[in-house]
Amino acid sequence: MSAPSYSRSALDWWGRGAAGLFLGGLLALGLSGLFARFGSGEIGVATARAAASIWLFVATWLPVFALSFRARSAERAWVLLGAFNLLVWAPHFLNASGR
Protein backbone atom coordinates (compact mmCIF):
# COMPACT_ATOMS: atom_id res chain seq x y z
CA MET A 1 0.00 0.00 0.00
CA SER A 2 1.63 3.11 -1.26
CA ALA A 3 1.29 6.32 0.62
CA PRO A 4 0.18 8.64 -2.22
CA SER A 5 -2.71 6.39 -3.27
CA TYR A 6 -3.96 6.30 0.31
CA SER A 7 -3.99 10.03 0.81
CA ARG A 8 -5.71 10.56 -2.54
CA SER A 9 -8.52 8.21 -1.67
CA ALA A 10 -8.86 9.72 1.76
CA LEU A 11 -9.37 13.12 0.19
CA ASP A 12 -11.61 11.62 -2.45
CA TRP A 13 -14.31 10.33 -0.18
CA TRP A 14 -15.58 13.84 0.29
CA GLY A 15 -15.85 14.26 -3.49
CA ARG A 16 -17.70 10.99 -3.95
CA GLY A 17 -19.94 11.63 -0.99
CA ALA A 18 -20.80 15.13 -2.21
CA ALA A 19 -21.77 13.69 -5.60
CA GLY A 20 -24.03 11.16 -3.89
CA LEU A 21 -25.46 13.76 -1.56
CA PHE A 22 -26.26 16.47 -4.10
CA LEU A 23 -26.68 14.69 -7.42
CA GLY A 24 -28.25 11.74 -5.62
CA GLY A 25 -30.74 14.10 -4.01
CA LEU A 26 -31.48 15.72 -7.37
CA LEU A 27 -31.94 12.29 -8.93
CA ALA A 28 -34.31 11.23 -6.19
CA LEU A 29 -36.28 14.46 -6.59
CA GLY A 30 -36.60 13.92 -10.35
CA LEU A 31 -37.70 10.32 -9.87
CA SER A 32 -40.28 11.26 -7.24
CA GLY A 33 -41.62 13.88 -9.67
CA LEU A 34 -41.88 11.33 -12.49
CA PHE A 35 -43.63 8.94 -10.14
CA ALA A 36 -46.17 11.59 -9.18
CA ARG A 37 -46.74 12.69 -12.78
CA PHE A 38 -47.22 9.26 -14.28
CA GLY A 39 -48.28 7.25 -11.25
CA SER A 40 -49.74 8.51 -8.03
CA GLY A 41 -50.84 11.90 -9.39
CA GLU A 42 -50.25 13.79 -6.17
CA ILE A 43 -47.14 15.50 -4.83
CA GLY A 44 -46.28 18.34 -2.50
CA VAL A 45 -49.48 17.98 -0.44
CA ALA A 46 -50.25 16.17 2.78
CA THR A 47 -52.01 13.11 1.39
CA ALA A 48 -51.15 9.43 1.45
CA ARG A 49 -50.72 9.45 -2.34
CA ALA A 50 -48.25 12.31 -2.14
CA ALA A 51 -46.49 10.62 0.79
CA ALA A 52 -45.61 7.73 -1.53
CA SER A 53 -43.39 10.12 -3.52
CA ILE A 54 -41.66 11.17 -0.27
CA TRP A 55 -40.91 7.54 0.55
CA LEU A 56 -39.65 7.03 -3.00
CA PHE A 57 -37.44 10.10 -2.65
CA VAL A 58 -35.81 8.80 0.53
CA ALA A 59 -35.61 5.22 -0.73
CA THR A 60 -33.71 6.47 -3.80
CA TRP A 61 -31.54 9.08 -2.18
CA LEU A 62 -30.11 7.04 0.67
CA PRO A 63 -28.90 4.06 -1.41
CA VAL A 64 -27.48 6.35 -4.12
CA PHE A 65 -25.65 8.38 -1.47
CA ALA A 66 -24.33 5.26 0.25
CA LEU A 67 -23.24 3.56 -2.96
CA SER A 68 -21.65 6.70 -4.48
CA PHE A 69 -18.51 5.87 -2.50
CA ARG A 70 -18.11 2.79 -4.69
CA ALA A 71 -17.28 4.99 -7.69
CA ARG A 72 -13.71 4.57 -8.88
CA SER A 73 -13.07 8.28 -8.43
CA ALA A 74 -14.90 11.43 -7.44
CA GLU A 75 -14.94 12.64 -11.05
CA ARG A 76 -16.57 9.41 -12.19
CA ALA A 77 -19.20 9.71 -9.48
CA TRP A 78 -20.13 13.22 -10.60
CA VAL A 79 -20.20 12.28 -14.32
CA LEU A 80 -22.19 9.09 -13.80
CA LEU A 81 -24.76 10.60 -11.49
CA GLY A 82 -24.95 13.66 -13.74
CA ALA A 83 -25.83 11.41 -16.68
CA PHE A 84 -28.53 9.62 -14.66
CA ASN A 85 -29.91 13.01 -13.68
CA LEU A 86 -30.18 14.09 -17.32
CA LEU A 87 -32.11 10.91 -18.04
CA VAL A 88 -34.54 11.44 -15.19
CA TRP A 89 -34.99 15.17 -15.67
CA ALA A 90 -35.33 15.12 -19.48
CA PRO A 91 -39.03 14.07 -19.40
CA HIS A 92 -39.77 16.92 -16.99
CA PHE A 93 -38.19 19.49 -19.29
CA LEU A 94 -39.73 18.00 -22.43
CA ASN A 95 -43.12 18.09 -20.73
CA ALA A 96 -42.61 21.68 -19.62
CA SER A 97 -41.55 22.87 -23.09
CA GLY A 98 -44.35 20.94 -24.80
CA ARG A 99 -46.99 22.60 -22.70
Partner 1 sequence: MRIHHETARVYKAVHGWIGISIGLALFIAFFAGAVGSFKAPIQRWTTPPAPVTATPIAQVPALVERVLAVYPEAAADYLIMLEPGPAHPGRMSWKLPPGSSPHGQGPVRAYADLAPDGSLHVTRTSPSPVGGQIVQLHLKMGLPFDETIAKPITGAVAAVYFLMLVSGVILLLPSMMNSLFARRVGGNIKRMWLDLHSGFGLFGLPFHFAISLTAVVFCWQGQIERVQAAVFGAMPAAAEQGVVPLEHPHPEKMLTPEQLLAALARQAPGFQPSAMLYTRDDEGRTRLLINGVDPRHAVRGPSSGAAEMDPFTGVIASASRLPGRQDGWEALETNLRALHFGNYGGLFVHWLYAALALGGCALVYSGNLLWIESRRIKARGNDPELPCQPRTSRILGALAIGVPLGCVSGIAITIAAAKPLTGRVEDLAAWHYWLFYGVFLLAVIWAQLRGPGRAGVELLRATALAIASIPGVSFLATILPFGWNHGIEGAAVDAVALVAALAFWMMGARALRRSCGKPFDSLWHVPPSRAHGHATHRGPPRQTAFPAAKEE
- Residues near partner 1 (CB under 8 A): 5-6, 9-10, 12-13, 16-17, 29, 32-33, 36-37, 40-55, 57-59, 61-63, 65-67, 69-70, 72
- Smallest distance from the beta carbon of 57 to partner 1, in angstroms? 6
Identity of the residue, 12 or 84, whose beta carbon is nearer to partner 1 in the bound complex: 12
* C-beta closer to partner 1: residue 23 or 43: 43
Across 43-62, b (16+ Cβ under 10 Å) vs e yields beeeeeebebbeebbeebbe
Q: Cα–Cα distance between 56 and 5 in angstroms, integer?
A: 37
What is the spatial distance between Cα 59 and Cα 57, in angstroms, rounded to a whole number?
A: 6
Report in angstroms how near the CB of residue 43 gets to partner 1 at its nearest. Answer: 5
